[in-house]
Structure 1
Amino acid sequence: MLFCDSPIHERHALAHLPVALGSVKPQIRWQHVWLPAALRRERIDVFHAPAHWGVPWNSPCPVVATIHDLADRECPDLRARASLRVAARHAFEQWLVVRRARRIIAVSEWTACSIQKHLGVAPERIAVTVEGAAPVFDVATEARIVEATRQELGLAGPYYVSVGGFDARKNLGAFVGALAATAPERRVPVALVGEGGAAAEALRRRAVEAGVEPWLRFLGGVDDVRLATLYAGALAVVVPSWLEGFGLPVVEAMHLGIPAIVSSAGSLPEITGDAGLIFPPDDPGALAVAMQRLARDTALRASLAEKARKRAPLYTWRRAAKQTVAVYLSAAR
């Protein structure tokens, strides 16, 4: 059963699951008054907070909580940019997880270590579960569709793809530095997928000032079908983030046999394994070298693509579900 404080968007709805909707404001009242009462009324055996928000103080049943990352603790610069209210809320919700969750799910070994380091949680309370790719990323895209999409988006030649937000943690400014460090005739465009707003415009201005704006293609948000097509036509997915608790774009591309170029920060090397190239997130020159190397070396791309296909079965939602159910059973004992 899903417990929600607002209606679920149709794209996230699961038809086979009943939904308990509690439109109670403020959110803290929903979390600590309405939710425990609903759990008791429905006789729930285990409650799972799929992010580290929403753990009730007085749950009538065992609680499992997922922590995707502790970016505010791992990256002090990010915490400094947050308002005092947001920082306090993060700290309070993390404290609730530590005090009230019987089991804590981490989405990578790196995140598990971060939880132990910053929250002082004993290793035996933490379980690592994977994440996976939607079914659309397991279906080979026809070459004609890939080519039509490339032409439509002005990506006629080779290109890289980057997927996600434009917040500071994503470190997309590294692309500006990498392209500026590359001779114009050797530059490969980067397709940036994601809604960016003011942050995207700020990045565009930086690119204009550096003279590399034509090589950054701001595509905005796209659906999964279009995203799969973009992955399929790319040389690689590039993730230059300062920190990622998992790195879903790497896995989505992996399922399509597309390698990755990732920063050495957070969980990205763990998730990528031998299916990509790694560079320091504070070194745009190293990113430029990696992008040029992969663009020139056909044999390397083929080798990494094969490794990506072999690694993809490690990251499926079916495997994630089995691991998560095992955590529920252990929490219920």
Structure 2
Amino acid sequence: MRIGVNAVPLRTHGGGARYVFAELIDRLLAIDTQRRYVLFAHPLAMDVIRGLSALQPRGAAEHPAGSGDTAPPARAHFASGNGAPRVRVIEVACEEEIFDHLDAFDLFFGPLNNLQPRIYDRPTVAILHDIQEHFYPQYFSPGDLAARREIYPEICRSATTLVTISEFCRRTMIERFSLDPQRVEVVYNAPQSGLTRHDRPFGEDTWSREPLPESFFFYPANCYPHKNHALLLDGLERMRAADPASAPHLVFTGFEIDGGFPLRNEICRRGLQSHARVYEDLAIAELRTLYHRAAALVMPTRFEGFGMPAVEALAMGCPIVCSDLPPLREICGDAALFVPCDDAAALTAAMQRLMRDPALRVDLAARGLKQAQRFSWDSSARRFMDIFAAAAARFSDPGGSAPRPASPRIGVLVNGTLAPDAIEPAVRSILRNGYTNVAIRVVLPDDRPLPTAVSAMVPAVSAVVERKSGPAAWPQLARFSDDERLDLVGEMIAGRSSLTPTALMSLADAASRDADSPVLLGEAWQRIGSEPVRSVARLRELGDGRWLLHGFIHAEMLFVRPRLLAAWAEGAALLHACGADWRIRLVRLARQSGRLCHIRRTFAVCDVSRIPFAERAAAAACGVEVIHLPDGRPTGGWLRRLKPLLKPASRILPGAWRVQGERWWRRLTRA
């Protein structure tokens, strides 16, 4: 199996997501010798990719890219025993360029809270770390909140297998998004390997900054609002007011962010400069020294999906005082002192207790080391190897060994009136699905005979003559359904589209899970002429109750249950009254009345340049967000032909210029 990994959101500078990605992928590449991996990365992340120790020449020291240490130069690939490259790194400017390499992988993996682009004709595995916006929406800007409320439910509902980082996150995602529990797995994170690799002694030789206090509490966290730095400063003020001589010191690490807690200003405003200090951009050896020398880790956070500082402290034998949150209970077990959130008095009491009781600190450190044995990147990588195999099996056989209803009889009307010469490849794309309970009817222009090759492929295929060109009206599909006793019927327009190899299987699976919806809608990839796929036609659920038909409603996306439709008075009346835009109006009505089965799977590849202007105008008039091609030809095509020349030349530009240039390039060349 070939695994495509979307690393496009990754950047060289970043927080925990960067080193979690690097550690996990590094161990996967080292341990999983049976699969091939294709990493898609943005130019601004190539330093992280090159630093993966699995890509280093043999004999080079292991320095995972997330560890903070400098890594030796990487080689582009390394090979398996048969000499074929087992790992490929492909540089892409945006996620849409992954469509250029659809033949390079069999399973798509999104490890960075992302499952873009929508490659849903094959198994997908996605990691989603948490859904904090459902607990503390006030901590997000309106734009971030809207994006999370649209994108995160889509990831959860679209992935063949969803992976999250704690049982708490798994439970909340299942509850909030009504997910099938069998599709949601938990794989724990683990400490940075650079922290637990003791190839250098602890001590002052690893700390090159101002001398550390003899005793201090340590809080490593970027200054997001939910990290609750203010509570720790409140506790310090309490202790200093009670006994200035015995008040502890605090050491913070992390970055201040826009809209976050102004940590440095608050320390100065409260006059705590002598007892609190902040560090940024620490090397891994310096971070290791802080864990080693701290009296305890203190985490007054209001929300965590996992708690990376906690698991790092466990592995370093550093005692922990933390908020009493379900994921921290799950990670720390009995190796921490838990205090209620936002309770400054309880936090202060726990810190003072640790300061006064050396035996308690020793006990917590010993328990932490034992608890830390549950977390390692090797075990996490092996879990993902099992998940990849299970996701592939689930996608090809969604029901597994469970009893299931008989496969529905699906009818596909191949409309050859617009491009008779394209009938044969259209029929081939249907047969490529391998779905046996299918009926095919070909609509021919004038008195043109059915192509001999099509008759040979499908002896039972029926053909009718239709003098009116264009997409079929509903009565034509209804007659086909009655003649063949179909459970589901849809249309395919020859010359404009082809079905994906898994379309009919995905349709049948969705129909077996939802037996009551008369209208079933999938997705379609959109391309312009012979160029690669660049967009997706689909139903977008915007997360606030609104929805949008995006791209186009291609005939191949829509299948109908004729018997249920006939029993639905409002739907049947609409079909009798509508003209060429019946599909769009039917989808809208079905969505509004709760009779639409929304299938997050790719059914077809469609050429939007061959859609007549009248059809695009009708779709736009119905509220569809349509790709605009005013003259029916690809716009920006001559620019796209320059890409092989411009892309290598752009590598000499500064990174910020390249990012801005990519934005303008997409605007100029988009359809």
TM-score strictly above 0.5: yes
Contact 2:129–2:305, Cα closer than 8 Å, also in 1: yes
- State the alpha-carbon separation in 1 of the partners of residues 97 and 315 from structure 2: 41
Q: 1:175 to 1:159 in 2, by over 3 A?
A: same
The partner residue of 1:67 within 119, 125, 128 is 128
Point out where structure 2 has 5 or more consecutive residues left out of the alignment. Answer: 1-37, 56-77, 79-86, 394-671
Contact 1:186–1:292, Cα closer than 8 Å, also in 2: no
CA-CA distance at 1:48 after TM superposition: 1.2
Residue in 2 aligned with 1:128? 186
Residue 107 of structure 2 is aligned to residue 46 of structure 1: yes
Residue in 1 aligned with 2:386? 326
Contact 1:52–1:93, Cα closer than 8 Å, also in 2: no
Contact 1:193–1:219, Cα closer than 8 Å, also in 2: yes
Q: 1:261 to 1:9 in 2, by over 3 A?
A: farther
- State the alpha-carbon separation in 2 of the partners of residues 8 and 290 from structure 1: 42
Residue 174 of structure 2 is aligned to residue 104 of structure 1: no
The partner residue of 1:56 within 117, 142, 145 is 117
CA-CA distance at 1:205 after TM superposition: 2.6
The 5 A counterparts of 1:21-36 are 21-24=91-94, 30=95, 33-36=96-99
SS of aligned partner of 2:203: helix
Residue in 2 aligned with 1:203? 263
The partner residue of 1:173 within 230, 240, 245 is 230
The partner residue of 1:217 within 277, 286, 289 is 277
The partner residue of 2:47 within 1, 4, 10 is 10
Q: 1:323 to 1:303 in 2, by over 3 A?
A: same
The partner residue of 2:322 within 262, 265, 282 is 262
Q: 1:151 to 1:47 in 2, by over 3 A?
A: closer
Alignment-mate amino acid for residue 96 of structure 1? E
SS of aligned partner of 1:68: coil
Contact 1:45–1:62, Cα closer than 8 Å, also in 2: yes
CA-CA distance at 1:78 after TM superposition: 1.6
SS of aligned partner of 2:262: helix
SS of aligned partner of 2:213: coil
The 5 A counterparts of 1:284-303 are 284-303=344-363
SS of aligned partner of 2:304: coil
Contact 1:275–1:307, Cα closer than 8 Å, also in 2: yes
Q: 1:247 to 1:146 in 2, by over 3 A?
A: same
Q: Deviations over 1:256-276 (max 9, x none)?
A: 211211111351221111111
Contact 2:235–2:345, Cα closer than 8 Å, also in 1: yes
Contact 2:256–2:262, Cα closer than 8 Å, also in 1: no
Q: Deviations over 1:124-177 (max 9, x none)?
A: 11101111112222244876x424566843323111111120110211111111
The 5 A counterparts of 1:242-261 are 242-261=302-321
What's the Cα RMSD here? 2.2
Contact 1:279–1:290, Cα closer than 8 Å, also in 2: yes
- State the alpha-carbon separation in 2 of the partners of residues 67 and 292 from structure 1: 37
The 5 A counterparts of 1:178-197 are 178-182=235-239, 183-196=243-256
Query: For this pair of structures, how many residues does the alignment match?
Result: 320
CA-CA distance at 1:288 after TM superposition: 1.0
Q: 1:179 to 1:12 in 2, by over 3 A?
A: farther
- State the alpha-carbon separation in 2 of the partners of residues 96 and 200 from structure 1: 27
Residue in 2 aligned with 1:237? 297
Alignment-mate amino acid for residue 290 of structure 2? L
- State the alpha-carbon separation in 1 of the partners of residues 199 and 211 from structure 2: 19
CA-CA distance at 1:246 after TM superposition: 0.9
CA-CA distance at 1:77 after TM superposition: 2.2
Alignment-mate amino acid for residue 112 of structure 1? R
TM-score of the superposition, structure 1-length normalised?
0.89
Contact 2:113–2:128, Cα closer than 8 Å, also in 1: yes
Q: Which has the higher contact order (CA 8 A, sep 6+)?
A: 1
- State the alpha-carbon separation in 1 of the partners of residues 48 and 91 from structure 2: 17
Q: 1:184 to 1:122 in 2, by over 3 A?
A: farther
- State the alpha-carbon separation in 1 of the partners of residues 167 and 319 from structure 2: 21
CA-CA distance at 1:326 after TM superposition: 1.2
- State the alpha-carbon separation in 2 of the partners of residues 86 and 160 from structure 1: 33
Residue in 2 aligned with 1:314? 374
CA-CA distance at 1:244 after TM superposition: 1.1
Q: 1:236 to 1:331 in 2, by over 3 A?
A: same
The partner residue of 1:162 within 208, 214, 219 is 219
CA-CA distance at 1:197 after TM superposition: 5.3
Alignment-mate amino acid for residue 106 of structure 2? D
Moved more, 174-183 or 297-306: 174-183
Alignment-mate amino acid for residue 219 of structure 1? Y
TM-score of the superposition, structure 2-length normalised?
0.45
Q: Among the aligned pairs, what percent are the same residue? A: 26
CA-CA distance at 1:199 after TM superposition: 6.7
- State the alpha-carbon separation in 2 of the partners of residues 101 and 197 from structure 1: 31
- State the alpha-carbon separation in 1 of the partners of residues 319 and 337 from structure 2: 8
